[in-house]
Structure 1
Amino acid sequence: MSEISRGLENVFIKATSLTYIDGEEGILRYRGYNIEDLVSNCDYEEIIYLMLYGELPTQSQLKKVKEKINESYELPPQVIKILEELPHEADAIAMMETGFSALASYYDYSWKKEENKERALEIIAKSNSIVANVYRIKEGLRPKVPEPSDSYAKSFLTAAFSREPSEKEVKAMNAALILYTDHEVPASTTAALVTSSTLSDMYSCIVAALAALKGPLHGGAAEAAFKQFMEIKDPSNVDKWFNENIIQGNKRLMGFGHRVYKTYDPRARIFKKYAEEIAKTDDARRYLEIAKKLEEKGIEHFGGKRIYPNTDFYSGIVFYSLGFPVYMFTSLFALSRVLGWLAHIIEYVEEQHRLIRPRALYVGPIKRDFIPLENRQ
């Protein structure tokens, strides 16, 4: 009898040179480079080049990437209008899906090997515009196209908030973009790969990925982790909340545990450092103290089971400290992950393409005799 791997756990669907994960040791590398080194030393645009072209860029190569992105922020006016006409209370990821789906109507991004990476750069730029304007529209602000700058992160924050971000804010946003860039083939990347295997256009692949990311078991974890900090309200309430909700099994500790990592998620350590650097308001500091105390309780209770904080545990505090409301956290994840999705689908289509068509194991009746309607009891 054929064996079913529930959730496709430990099923390898492609070979990749993009991301290496050692879940036992807590190691994450992009193209062989440790995530800690990349976050400490690189602009996000360097990671864009690395993921698409395979190497860290030279100064001239980086300049060309930045120029291409800076000239590609503009969105068709009709796409902005479509976003404006959506209900302002709509889910931010649902609005992103609509924006990317609309862009598929304006650009013919069928697969052409000599153009795929250039088109990916255009999509990454337009992602910046879509996410910034999803935020602005939901906040009742007029749409604003990101302006060219020396930093993708800076252009995004400036467009979203209509103000010059501080150097610390730009560094924190840049770090978040790098940390969420890719993580092998989770549900959203798999959805993008399945779509790309049909040779559908790149924008439609992003829509498929967003639809998968929207689910609370995938992209919504940072929002859920932060909401539990809000529910706790004060560090003095952590012990009581933990005993009543986690020990007694009434709730799941959000931001803890990972399908791959059996130790501390390396991204969580970095997010924690940036949360400590950027959390300046009383509320942000309070949430950070709640998170730290909750982390201690969580490790004390779950560490023996090899369950530790994942990347979503502290990322929400970074996003909140930047000025974003909770409803934007998953969209900020998506803004970064667009690069990972594009890198994976380009790698798959250009190097390993085959239509993804799995099978289902039939467990129903083998054969039945047909009974006319008038004879059925």
Structure 2
Amino acid sequence: MSEISKGLENVFIKATSLTYVDGEEGVLRYEGYDINDLVNHCSFEEVIHLMLYGDLPTKEKLAEVKNRLNQSYSVPSSVIRIMEDLPHNAEAISMMETAFGGLSCFYGVPWDKAKNKERAIEIIAKAATVTANVYRIKEGLKPRIPDPSDSYVESFLEATFSRRPSEKEIAAMNAALILYTDHEVPASTTAALVASSTLSDMYSCIVAALAALKGPLHGGAAEAAYQQFKEIEEPDNVEKWFNEKVIAGKKRLMGFGHRVYKTYDPRSKIFKNYAMKLANGENRKYLDIAIKLEELGLKEFSKRGIYPNVDFYSGIVFSSLGFPDYMFTPLFALARTLGWLAHIIEYVEEQHRLIRPRALYIGPEKRDYIPLDVRQ
């Protein structure tokens, strides 16, 4: 009898040069570059070039990436109107799905190896516009197209909040985008790959990825982790909450554990550092809660290979930047758009084959038809 790998665990569906993950040692690299070096030294635009073209850009190539981004923020007004016509209490990711479905109607052209990567940069620009306007529309603000600037992050934040971000905010958002750019082939990337294997257009592949990301077992973890800090309310409540909820088996400790990492997720340490730099007011309190909760979680779970993951501290960073918690998953999607595009381009251009798995039949053997009138 054939074996089934539930959840496709440890099934390799493609070869990649994009992202290397060592779950035992806690290593994450994009195209060979350690995630810490990229966060500490690179702009998101440099990582865009790295993921699409295979290396960090020269000054001239970086200028080309920035120029194409600056030329591509605009979206058809009808797409914005569609977003405005959606219920303001709609899920943010659903609004993004709708927007990208609309963009597919305008820009969903066939694959073209000579143009795929340039088009990917254009999609990344439009993703900033869509994400900024999910926030603005849900908050009752007038939609706005990002203005060209020397920084993708600055253009995005300024369009979102109608104010110039501080250098500290730009640095934190830049780091967040790099940290969430890619992580091999989780559910959303796999969904995008399945769509791309049919040669569906790139915008439609993003819709497929968003549909997978929307599920609470994938994209909602940062929001869930942040909600648990809110539920605990005060640092003095952490130990009691942990014992009564987590140890008693009533709740999972959100932001802990990962399918791949059996040690610290390296992204979690970086997000913790930015949370410590940015947090103030309520988020300062939530940071104190998170630190205490991390200590208890490590004592209880580290011996089983369960450690903080990327989502444990990221919500504190996003909230400190001014985003409500419903925006945490869209921000994940904004960053991961680059990873989705890089993977589908790599697959279609280098390894293309229609993804068509099989299902193992476990139903009854052949049965004879029985007329309706004589069935018992």
Does the TM-score normalized on the shorter chain lie above 0.5? yes
Q: How far off is 1:374 after superposition? A: 1.0
Contact 1:74 1:126 survives alignment (8 Å): yes
Partner residue of 2:104?
104
Partner residue of 1:371?
370
1:344 aligns with 2:343: yes
1:202-221 to structure 2, matched below 5 A, reads 202-221=202-221
Q: How far off is 1:107 after superposition? A: 1.1
Letter in 2 for 1:220: G
Q: How far off is 1:101 after superposition? A: 0.2
1:41 aligns with 2:35: no
Letter in 2 for 1:279: A
CA distance in 2, matches of 1:173, 1:221: 18
Letter in 1 for 2:139: E
Partner residue of 1:62?
62
Contact 2:108 2:203 survives alignment (8 Å): no
1:89-238 to structure 2, matched below 5 A, reads 89-238=89-238
CA distance in 2, matches of 1:219, 1:243: 27
State the TM-score, normalized to the length of structure 2. 1.00
CA distance in 2, matches of 1:215, 1:224: 12
Letter in 1 for 2:208: A
Partner residue of 2:352?
353
Partner residue of 2:306?
307
State the TM-score, normalized to the length of structure 1. 0.99
Q: How far off is 1:166 after superposition? A: 0.4
Unaligned runs of 5+ in 1: none
Unaligned runs of 5+ in 2: none
CA distance in 2, matches of 1:221, 1:14: 26
Q: How far off is 1:109 after superposition? A: 2.5
Contact 2:92 2:326 survives alignment (8 Å): yes
Q: How far off is 1:108 after superposition? A: 3.3
Contact 1:131 1:331 survives alignment (8 Å): yes
CA distance in 2, matches of 1:303, 1:353: 40
Partner residue of 1:10?
10
CA distance in 2, matches of 1:366, 1:37: 58
CA distance in 2, matches of 1:108, 1:303: 46
Contact 1:109 1:119 survives alignment (8 Å): no
CA distance in 2, matches of 1:187, 1:276: 31
1:331 aligns with 2:340: no
Deviations 1:58-115 (A, max 9, x none): 0000000000000100010000000000000000000000000000001132100000
CA distance in 1, matches of 2:107, 2:274: 37
Other structure's SS at 2:21 match: strand
Letter in 1 for 2:341: L
Deviations 1:235-286 (A, max 9, x none): 0000000000011000000000000000000000000000001112x20100
1:263-274 to structure 2, matched below 5 A, reads 263-274=263-274
Contact 1:20 1:32 survives alignment (8 Å): yes
Partner residue of 1:278?
278
Contact 1:50 1:56 survives alignment (8 Å): yes
Contact 1:181 1:336 survives alignment (8 Å): yes
Other structure's SS at 1:364 match: coil
Query: Aligned pairs, how many?
Result: 376
Contact 2:108 2:202 survives alignment (8 Å): no
Q: How far off is 1:369 after superposition? A: 0.5
1:22-33 to structure 2, matched below 5 A, reads 22-33=22-33
Percent identity of equivalent pairs:
72
CA distance in 2, matches of 1:64, 1:306: 43
CA distance in 2, matches of 1:35, 1:234: 33
Letter in 1 for 2:59: Q
CA distance in 2, matches of 1:108, 1:343: 17
CA distance in 2, matches of 1:118, 1:373: 60
CA distance in 2, matches of 1:124, 1:140: 24
Deviations 1:4-48 (A, max 9, x none): 000000000000000000000000000000000000000000000
CA distance in 2, matches of 1:51, 1:109: 22
Contact 2:108 2:204 survives alignment (8 Å): no
Letter in 2 for 1:365: P
Letter in 1 for 2:14: K
Contact 2:74 2:126 survives alignment (8 Å): yes
Letter in 2 for 1:71: Q
Letter in 1 for 2:274: Y
Contact 1:222 1:316 survives alignment (8 Å): yes
Contact 1:79 1:103 survives alignment (8 Å): yes
Q: CA RMSD in A?
A: 0.4
CA distance in 2, matches of 1:303, 1:78: 51
Q: Give the stretch that moved more between structures: 40-49 or 104-113.
A: 104-113
